């Protein structure tokens, strides 16, 4: 039996593999990647490496074995039909008879277009009959802390989220939940709504940045169309800018507040405070 992680060199997948290495022997872990060069260090530590691509169904033939536990990390190629990409993995998992397929989804409350591919994937997974775990990951601290340069340059947090709140957590937190599911028992056919222990507003985010930097950083709430203009002006493709503006609209409606406590329960510890993530990012 292997624990198989797809997208293992991605930002979340890499965290999962690193944390698995603390829990199980390296030989029990298979990292599925498109580029073997990026996993040389993992191979050196004894992790099995499998080359496969969501866009090449044949590459998944025979990759899984009966009894495997699989983490399907959702793809990030928004323009390539993610539901069909994910179906390739689900079909291969079904054919092999895996014991569990865990999928990194989006909160059940999220109605933004970003969630459409996740809902489509969940439907295929449930219809497949494969034992599943839905890891409905909330928003990530890193969605903000990795994009601080323009905020600090203009002394402004800009969002189209009004007074909405976000229950974000760190990638490492969400990875720890995945590891708990992959290495534990009794997670078959369960759905987990995952988010940080404490929600925050964008005004509070700006205030925390001000406190930590000593600068006066304001929160500028803007209409969705204005945000799309700002993001495209910064070089983002318009379709993706509209997806992000749609997420802000969902935040304003309270759809990214996840207060189930599932994340800290699965990991057995409190989630990483947003202020701590901000401090780490500012140290750089």
Could you tell me if residue 74 is inside a domain?
A: yes
CA-to-CA distance for 79 and 96, rounded, in angstroms?
29
b/e string for 109-139 if b means 16 or more Cβ within 10 A? bbebbbbebbebbbebbeeeebbbbbbbbbb
| pLDDT score of 27 more than 80 | yes
Could you tell me if residue 249 is inside a domain?
A: no
At residue 231, the pLDDT reads 93
Structure tokens at 85: 């990409």
Could you tell me if residue 56 is inside a domain?
A: yes
At residue 61, the pLDDT reads 95
At residue 77, the pLDDT reads 74
At residue 64, the pLDDT reads 97
At residue 13, the pLDDT reads 97
At residue 188, the pLDDT reads 98
At residue 75, the pLDDT reads 86
At residue 66, the pLDDT reads 97
Range of the domain at 174: 3-138+170-194+259-271
| 8-17 tens-digit pLDDT | 999 999 999 9
Neighbours of 239 (CB within 10 A): 11
What mean pLDDT is predicted for residues 141-149?
Answer: 95
At residue 2, the pLDDT reads 95
More confident residue, 239 or 17: 17
More confident residue, 153 or 284: 153
DSSP 169: B
Contact 52, 60 (CB under 8 A): yes
At residue 4, the pLDDT reads 98
Residue 35: CATH number of its domain: 3.40.50.720
Share of the chain above pLDDT 70, in %: 99
At residue 76, the pLDDT reads 78
Could you tell me if residue 252 is inside a domain?
A: no
CA-to-CA distance for 57 and 183, rounded, in angstroms?
27
Domain count, the chain: 1
What mean pLDDT is predicted for residues 224-230?
Answer: 96
Share of the chain above pLDDT 90, in %: 93
Degrees, nearest 5: CA angle 207-211-214: 120
Could you tell me if residue 162 is inside a domain?
A: no
According to DSSP, the residues that pair with 70 across neighbouring strands are: 4, 101
Phi, then psi, of 178 in degrees rounded to 5? -60, -40
Could you tell me if residue 114 is inside a domain?
A: yes
At residue 224, the pLDDT reads 96
| 70-107 tens-digit pLDDT | 999 998 776 668 999 999 999 999 999 999 999 999 99
Where residue 199 falls among pLDDT bands split at 50, 70, 90? very high
Could you tell me if residue 63 is inside a domain?
A: yes
Among residues 102, 95, 93, which one has the least CA distance to residue 132?
102
What mean pLDDT is predicted for residues 188-212?
Answer: 98
Structure tokens at 101: 């397929």
Structure tokens at 158: 């800009």
Could you tell me if residue 250 is inside a domain?
A: no
At residue 149, the pLDDT reads 93
Where residue 157 falls among pLDDT bands split at 50, 70, 90? very high
């Amino acid at each position: 039996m292997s624990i198989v992680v797809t997208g293992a060199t991605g930002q979340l997948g890499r965290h999962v593999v690193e944390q698995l290495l603390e829990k199980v022997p390296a030989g029990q872990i298979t990292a599925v990647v498109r580029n073997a060069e990026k996993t040389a260090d993992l191979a050196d530590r004894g992790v099995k490496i499998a080359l496969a691509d969501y866009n090449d169904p044949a590459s998944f033939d025979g990759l899984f074995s009966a009894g495997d536990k699989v983490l399907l990390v959702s793809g990030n190629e928004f323009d390539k039909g993610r539901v069909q990409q994910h179906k390739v993995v689900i079909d291969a998992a079904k054919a092999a008879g895996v014991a569990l397929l865990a999928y990194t989804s989006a909160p059940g409350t999220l109605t933004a277009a970003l969630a459409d591919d996740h809902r489509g994937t969940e439907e295929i997974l449930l219809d497949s009959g494969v034992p599943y775990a839905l890891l409905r990951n909330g928003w990530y601290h890193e969605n903000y802390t990795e994009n601080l340069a323009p905020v600090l340059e203009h002394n402004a947090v800009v969002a189209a989220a009004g007074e909405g709140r976000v229950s974000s957590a760190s990638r490492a937190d969400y990875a720890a939940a995945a590891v708990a599911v992959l290495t534990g028992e009794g997670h078959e056919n369960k759905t987990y709504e995952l988010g940080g222990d404490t929600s925050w507003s964008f005004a509070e985010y700006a205030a925390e940045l001000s406190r930590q930097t000593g600068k006066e950083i304001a929160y500028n709430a803007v209409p969705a169309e204005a945000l799309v203009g700002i993001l495209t002006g910064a070089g983002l493709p318009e379709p993706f800018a509209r997806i992000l503006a749609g997420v802000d609209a969902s935040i304003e409606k309270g759809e990214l507040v996840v207060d189930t406590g599932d994340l800290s329960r699965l990991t057995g510890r409190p989630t990483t405070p947003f202020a701590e993530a901000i401090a780490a990012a500012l140290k750089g």
